[in-house]
Amino acid sequence: MPKLSELEGCVLGLVWAGGPCTPYAIRQIFLSSPSPHWSGSAGAIYPLVRRLERRRLLRSETQATGRRRSRLYALTPAGTRALQAWLSPPLPEVAVGVPADPLRTRLRFLEALPQARRRAFLADARARLHRHLRLVQADCRKRRASGDRFDYLMARGALHQMRAREAWLREVARAMKGVGKQGSRRRGA
């Protein structure tokens, strides 16, 4: 039994949480999520549920509304067990370590830009981050109202993250203001 990928675990979770559903419904969840990490593309989801079905973690029944075929996927008992195993400690290293952050990665090399464009970078980052924070906030309220505790807590996690990034960018701005001119030539050797 190969381990579940992040996306696979997540899809199992969604089917568990929402009950039997079509791949299309699953996609909508990804597409409407404020996290842009997964595209929720058809090319990802449809083959994935097929895979899970072959592994007997999902089973599907065809259903037709009018002349339209579609598939309802549901968890099998083995699927539930797999989901639980995926959730169970010990958590994989990648889940507890510092999560990747493309913004952070970029900032590391900001010195490669001339001053003016560094400021432009920061301004863009702060403005868009803030706008996105609003979205997450709204999303958080919505999920709170939905009554699903863990769904809400997850959204809270996202909110914490976004606030931390904002605070960090404030710190960066402060640090950049405090220091005089410096060229954009590379540092090493």
Partner DNA sequence: CCGCTCATGTAACTGGTTACATGATTTA
Partner DNA sequence: TAAATCATGTAACCAGTTACATGAGCGG
Bridge-based pairing state of the strands 68-75 and 58-65: antiparallel
CB of 16 to DNA, least distance (A): 17
Region binding its own copies by CB under 8 A among candidate stretches 42-50, 52-60, 63-71, 101-109: 101-109
* Residue closer to its own copies (CB basis): 2 or 97: 97
What lies within 8 Å, CB to CB, of 156 at 6+ separation is 140
Region binding DNA by CB under 7 A among candidate stretches 5-13, 99-107, 126-134, 167-175: 5-13
Q: What is the DSSP letter of 63?
A: E
Which listed residue (95, 145, 180, 183) binds its own copies by CB under 8 A?
Answer: 95
Residue 186 within binding range of its own copies, rule CB under 8 A:
yes
Tokens for 141, please give them: 């309220």
Which listed residue (58, 71, 79, 140) binds DNA by CB under 7 A?
Answer: 71
- For the chain, state the CA radius of gyration: 22
Q: Which H or E run includes 22? A: none
Coil, strand or helix: which one is 20?
coil
Residues 125-184 that bind its own copies (CB under 8 A): 125, 128-129, 132, 136, 148-151, 153-154, 156-158, 160-165, 167-168, 171-172, 175, 179
Tokens for 108, please give them: 């590391």
Q: Which does 95 bind (CB under 5 to 8 A by kind): its own copies, DNA, none?
A: its own copies
Helix axes 149-178, 115-146, angle to 10 degrees: 160
* Residue closer to DNA (CB basis): 27 or 143: 27
What lies within 8 Å, CB to CB, of 39 at 6+ separation is 30
**Positions that interact with DNA (CB under 7 A):** 2, 5-8, 22-25, 27, 38-44, 46-48, 50-51, 65-71
